[in-house]
Each structure stands twice: as C-alpha cells, then as structure tokens.
Amino acid sequence: MTEQIVLEHVTKTFTTKELGSVTAVNDFNLVVHKGECFSFLGPSGCGKTTTLRMIAGFEDLSSGSIYLGGKLVSDRSKNIYLPPEKRGLGMVFQAFAVWPHLNVFDNIAYPLKVKRFSKNDIREKVLQAMHYCNLDGLEKSFPSDLSGGQQQRIALARAIVVNPEAMLLDEPLSNLDPHLRETMRFEIKRLQKEFGFTIIFVTHDQSEAMALSDRMLIMDMGNIQQIGTPAELYNHPKNRFVHSFLGQSNFINVDVRDGRVYPAGQADVPLWVDKLPEKSGEQVLATRPNTMILNREEGFPCRIIKRTFKTDFVEYLLKIGEDNAIVQAPHRELFKNGEACYLKIYNSVYYDRENEEAAKERERRNIV
C-alpha cells in the first residue's frame, strides 16, 4: 500500500481573546493510503476542518509535519510550506463554494485557468468533468438557476477537473436534503472508482461515515480517539466516547466485587453479563440496545417501565440500578408494560467512570 497523506505529530493551537488558547488539533498522527476513502468523524468543534485546512495548505501548523505522496509539504521547524495550488488536491467544502457571477463552465474551468492550460485543453477537461458529474448541457447556466444538488456537483466537478491525487471533502453533503445526500454519496464513490483518487471525507454524521469509509477516525476536542474500519470502531470501541458516538449505547454505572457486577445503587443482585471486567471497583458497563436480551427464565430480574413500538423492533425502557437502559427486541416476543422479566447483557465492555477534567474542558470550549 502506498502512503498518500501522512501527518506526523501535527498540532494547531489558536489563541483568541474570548477563550484564550485552544488546541484545536493535538499531536495528530495519521497515514492515509492511496485510493483509500478515509473519514474524519466527530462532534462540531472537534478539529476536523482545521486538520483538513492544514492538509490543504490553508492553515499553518503550530508543530509537526505533513507529507503528500511522499513529499514534505508542511513543516514549521524546517520552514517548509507548499501553497495549496501546488499540492495536487481537489477540495469541496460544506457551503456551496461556487462563484455566483461565473457560469457553470467558468466555475469549473477556474483551477485550469490558474494553471494556464490552453483553451482547447480547458474545454475538453471541463466538458469531461461535467459529464462525470452529470452536468451535461449546463455550461452556460448560472449557479443561482440550479438546485443545491447541482451546485454541489459543480463544486465536485471543479475539484476533479485538475485530476487530483486526493480529494478533501469537508461536510460536502450537509446542506442537501436526505435523499440527495444518498445520491451524492453514491456519486462520490462512483467518481472515486473511476479516477482512483484518495478521499478524506469530513462529517459529523455517523451513518454517512460508516457507509462511505474504508477506514475512519473518531476525534474529540482535537484528539484522535480511535482509528479503524467502521466494523472495528462499532464492535470494539476503545473508550466511552467512541462507544457513544457510533450507534446507540447504554451506559450503566456498576460496582464490581468478588467477580460479580452489581448495578450502582442496587448492591444486592448482580447483573447477568457475558464478560467480566479485568479489575474490581466502580466503573461503567457499556452495551447496545440490540445486544441486551429480555427473557422470562433467567438473568437479572427487572421490570419494563415503558414499551414503544418501532417498525423493525420493539423498544423497552428499563431501570438498572440508578440508570435507565433501552433494549430492542423482536416483535415476536412481546413483553407488557410493567411486566417483570429477566435481562442478559451481551457484548459488555467496561470503561472507567467519566473523567471530570474532560467534561470541564468541553464546557470551556462551548461544546455540549
């Protein structure tokens, strides 16, 4: 596998009057391979755009180095900085970044004009990019005459027209309605297959990242939390943040004593769990609504507080010690509101209780 985009110890600190100093990206290490579709996933304000802007060359690094195709393109200490137009990247951003005063042809031709291609070359390349992006026949239209989806296709065509080694896509679908998002996701994958470029796709939408990515990373407050395939991250989340960010989660405060797991605030009856933690003491048991099984024979005795019918399953609210938990079960074995039943917990993972400092820092950064 060829390394296409490499970040080594990349850090970016902003200093503002309101917040003082904020490390937007902290010691970021990453290797994206040629032809890979790689997503950055994380809540708003976690540093996704800043990282992308540093790769693109729009933002200076506070420290660290960035390599593109084996070439060092950003390194503060060595005084190396290659400008964006020389990095061989295509970029599409969240806002429809098309020029309203230029028609579709001129919008797409712009990067080629900057690179001083001949008129004939420009015409050929633009028409081809338009064709790939399903914009045939719209050369003379202006962006304001077109739909949001078409405008985003212009941005996409303008990015691929230079035949980039890699595409950086910063929430390119966020402004589109759900149906169009689906279509555009598919289009992006199709273009990638056609051209073979590497993609870094930034999103805060977990299902989008899961659907598109070969691998992805989850970040929080400037720190990479975990890197892996969508399945690895969903099935083996390394910490509570990753667990809660991908898919639905139940977190149950527990106290582990003598090889048994007791729910917090209910010290007499242990839970039925498929796995025990390595250590004793207070911690958090994490599981998903679809890996908890309700039955009438054995397990942890509990009571259904609320039942909600959904299309593909029935959802039950339970109280376990001091926490609420949601269980999803098939329609064929119904439990009644208020019914006493038993619970078995599978795919149990254990984490330390939440760290107070992380919560304070989140508050300081106005992230909820």
Residues interacting with ligand ADP, by CB under 6 A? 14, 16, 22, 24, 42, 44-50, 365
Number of residues engaging Mg ion in binding (CB under 5 A):
1
Least Å from the CB of residue 46 to ligand ADP: 4
If the CB atoms of residues 52 and 341 are measured against Mg ion, the closer one turns out to be 52
> Which one of Mg ion, ligand ADP, none is in contact with 45 (Cβ closer than 5 to 8 A by kind)?
ligand ADP
Least Å from the CB of residue 48 to Mg ion: 5
Segment (H or E) for 131: helix 119-132
Least Å from the CB of residue 324 to Mg ion: 32
> Which one of Mg ion, ligand ADP, none is in contact with 46 (Cβ closer than 5 to 8 A by kind)?
ligand ADP
What residue is closest to Mg ion based on CB? 49
> Which one of ligand ADP, Mg ion, none is in contact with 164 (Cβ closer than 5 to 8 A by kind)?
none
Q: Which stretch binds Mg ion (CB under 5 A): 9-17, 42-50, 109-117, 332-340?
A: 42-50
Tokens standing for 276? 């025990």
Least Å from the CB of residue 202 to ligand ADP: 7
Q: Using an 8 Å Cβ cutoff, are 250 and 315 in contact?
A: no
Least Å from the CB of residue 199 to Mg ion: 16
3-state secondary structure of 292: strand
Residue 49 within binding range of Mg ion, rule CB under 5 A: yes
Q: Using an 8 Å Cβ cutoff, are 315 and 337 in contact?
A: no
Q: Identify the CA nearest to 121 among candidates 202, 113, 195.
A: 113
Q: Tell me, what amino acid is at 191?
A: L
Neighbours of 117 (CB within 10 A): 18
Q: Using an 8 Å Cβ cutoff, are 169 and 201 in contact?
A: yes
SS3 of 212-249: HCCEEEEEECCEEEEEECHHHHHHCCCCHHHHHHCCCC
If the CB atoms of residues 47 and 172 are measured against ligand ADP, the closer one turns out to be 47
Binding residues for Mg ion, per CB under 5 A?
49
